Structure 1
Amino acid sequence: MTPFEIAQSYIGTTEGPGTEDNPAIMAMYASVGHDWVEHDSVAWCAAFVGHCLEKAGLRSTRRLNARSYLDWGIPVDLAEAQEGDIVVFSRGSKSWQGHVGFFVKTAGAMIEVLGGNQSDAVNIQRYAKSRLLGVRRAGNVAPTATLSVREVQARLKALGYHEVGRVDGQVGPRTRAAILAFRDDNGLPLVPIIDVALTEALSTAAPRSVAPERATGVPENSRILTAANAQVGLGVLGAAGSVAGQIAPALTQAEEARDTAERVLDLVGLADVVQAALPWIGAAVFIGVIFYALKARNARIEDHRAGKTP
């Protein structure tokens, strides 16, 4: 979608009633780096334009000053203005004041503008040509493609934000949590969205650091670790019991054996062979339990030390 098409999708958005704030407008402030804004009563025409640009993959001025767009892109004569160009108007008596929006068309001495914070809403209104300060077009503003959800998830996981979960292309609670954690670590606005700023940061960010005490420690209150330790203990006791149960009868039989022939005859019977082997089979099973329990335990500790688990 183009910035203008994105802007059109917001038509009808209004500030929150009374002391309430519209989350959609608050997200606009945040998407251009101003998540410090507490209420949607703060002038948001520039935030609206910037949000639409960033969402379309174009870097905005990321400022809340409408006149900042007089230095954005390239200048265009009003006679050559096209739908979607950015128009900046004077407002008030101070030199820094202004209004910015998207050009729709001219209508006699007026210009129709699609913008935000126009009577506290996103709509199309007319502004006098005499107030026009400039028309700007992207021109030299190179498009910055934003990453897909799947690409963001893969990059976050590679950087150590394993809370992102599976790389499935779906923005769920875990993906939003990972995005917020990454944004917090890298000084970005705390909004769980994929925009130009996030894309740029992901391409240059260093891997997430792991605290020294975690890098050499073991997880606390881990059910996996507790279960693995219990299985190791059970396996040791079981294996020891099985071997002991086999050794004692073997010694007794050896003492009572009268000659080699009698011992061979005793071993010929299939039932006797199986019965004699069962303790050793049991010991092997318990040893297997110990092996896999230790493997699970070590894997859990390694994940903890690498920061792959909470």
Structure 2
Amino acid sequence: MQNILQIAAGQIGVQELAGEADNPVIVKYAHESGFTQVNDDETAWCSIFVNWCCEQAGLQRSHKMNARSWLYVGKTINKPYAGDIVVLWRESPSSWKGHVGIFLGYTKDRNHIFVLGGNQKNSVSVQAYDASRVLAFKRLMASQGLEVPKPLLTLGSRGNEVMKLQVILIDLGYDCGAVDGIFGPRTKEHLSAFQTSENLKEKNGVYDEHTQKKFQSIY
């Protein structure tokens, strides 16, 4: 399997089409990442592109289209290497808006960073960004091989199936605490947050068949 830098670099030059036409490659990034509602190249697609690259590389994904969703994925680091994920703010640090891409390195004076990403000047390209705009650098783990647990799991449940649930929640960016096989209040809280985010039928923090099917669609 190629690493994320090889995958992303292989897409350099893909760009939005002028006028009413839409680049089918950009639409493919969205559909293959699970965003089947996106059928154009005008929707902000920086997070879509990073999700697609991570899917191809077998790495953790945010499963969301907003750039700042990557703040809750992987491990926050202070000394990034090429291939780590970088999240930047747009408009202001407190805004909900942002940009996400793949970190390549610093300029010699370390005032700017080079980022390989999508939706950069309407294309997959390498661009320089002011280093003061960085919100976080994130290092991702492999997400392959995760097992979807069997329902029913609820507050007080214990065992291997609960551990599988906790690992998946953490992989999806929900910090449910230690992977200890104990379905406690924190696991319930973050499972409920996932169910709410995905607009599932039940949002009560009980791991049921509907949540299992959603996990299976992701993994």
Band of TM-score, shorter chain:
0.5 to 0.7
1:59 CA displacement: 3.2
Corresponding residue pairs, total: 147
In structure 2, the partner of 1:27 is: 28
In structure 2, the partner of 1:124 is: 126
Q: Could you say if the C-alpha distance between residues 11 and 145 of structure 1 is closer, same or farther in structure 2, counting changes exceeding 3 Å?
A: farther
Q: What is the root-mean-square deviation in Å for CA atoms of aligned residues?
A: 2.1
Q: Could you say if the C-alpha distance between residues 203 and 30 of structure 1 is closer, same or farther in structure 2, counting changes exceeding 3 Å?
A: closer
Alignment check: 8 A CA contact 2:60 2:74 kept: no
SS of the aligned residue for 1:113 comes to strand
In structure 1, the partner of 2:139 is: 137
1:18 CA displacement: 1.3
1:43 aligns with 2:44: yes
Once residues 10 and 20 of structure 2 are traced to their aligned partners in structure 1, the CA distance between those partners, rounded to angstroms, is: 25
1:7 CA displacement: 0.4
Residues 143-292 of structure 1 aligned to structure 2 (within 5 Å): 143-144=143-144, 201=216
More helix by share: 1
Alignment check: 8 A CA contact 1:32 1:63 kept: no
In structure 2, the partner of 1:300 is: none
Counterpart residue type for residue 135 of structure 2: L
1:143 CA displacement: 3.2
Once residues 203 and 29 of structure 1 are traced to their aligned partners in structure 2, the CA distance between those partners, rounded to angstroms, is: 14
Once residues 3 and 55 of structure 2 are traced to their aligned partners in structure 1, the CA distance between those partners, rounded to angstroms, is: 10
Alignment check: 8 A CA contact 1:75 1:137 kept: yes
Residues 60-99 of structure 1 aligned to structure 2 (within 5 Å): 60-77=61-78, 80-93=79-92, 95-99=95-99
Alignment check: 8 A CA contact 2:117 2:126 kept: yes
SS of the aligned residue for 1:95 comes to coil
**Where does structure 2 lack aligned partners over 5 or more consecutive residues?**
147-214
More strand by share: 2
1:184-207 residue CA offsets vs partner (Å, 9 max, x unmatched): xxxxxxxxxxxxxxxx74899xxx
In structure 2, the partner of 1:6 is: 7
1:48 CA displacement: 0.4
- What is the TM-score of this pair, normalised by structure 1? 0.45
Alignment check: 8 A CA contact 2:60 2:73 kept: no
SS of the aligned residue for 1:87 comes to strand
Question: Higher RCO, 1 or 2 (CA under 8 Å, sep at least 6)?
Answer: 2
Counterpart residue type for residue 129 of structure 2: Y
Once residues 60 and 117 of structure 2 are traced to their aligned partners in structure 1, the CA distance between those partners, rounded to angstroms, is: 18
- What is the TM-score of this pair, normalised by structure 2? 0.63
SS of the aligned residue for 1:13 comes to coil
1:145 CA displacement: 5.6
**Where does structure 1 lack aligned partners over 5 or more consecutive residues?**
147-199, 205-310
Stretches of 4+ aligned residues off by more than 3 angstroms: 200-204
Once residues 101 and 64 of structure 2 are traced to their aligned partners in structure 1, the CA distance between those partners, rounded to angstroms, is: 14
- Decide which structure has the larger Cα Rg and report it: 1
Once residues 23 and 46 of structure 2 are traced to their aligned partners in structure 1, the CA distance between those partners, rounded to angstroms, is: 14
Counterpart residue type for residue 135 of structure 1: F
Q: Could you say if the C-alpha distance between residues 130 and 39 of structure 1 is closer, same or farther in structure 2, counting changes exceeding 3 Å?
A: same
SS of the aligned residue for 1:5 comes to helix
SS of the aligned residue for 1:10 comes to coil
Q: Could you say if the C-alpha distance between residues 17 and 133 of structure 1 is closer, same or farther in structure 2, counting changes exceeding 3 Å?
A: same
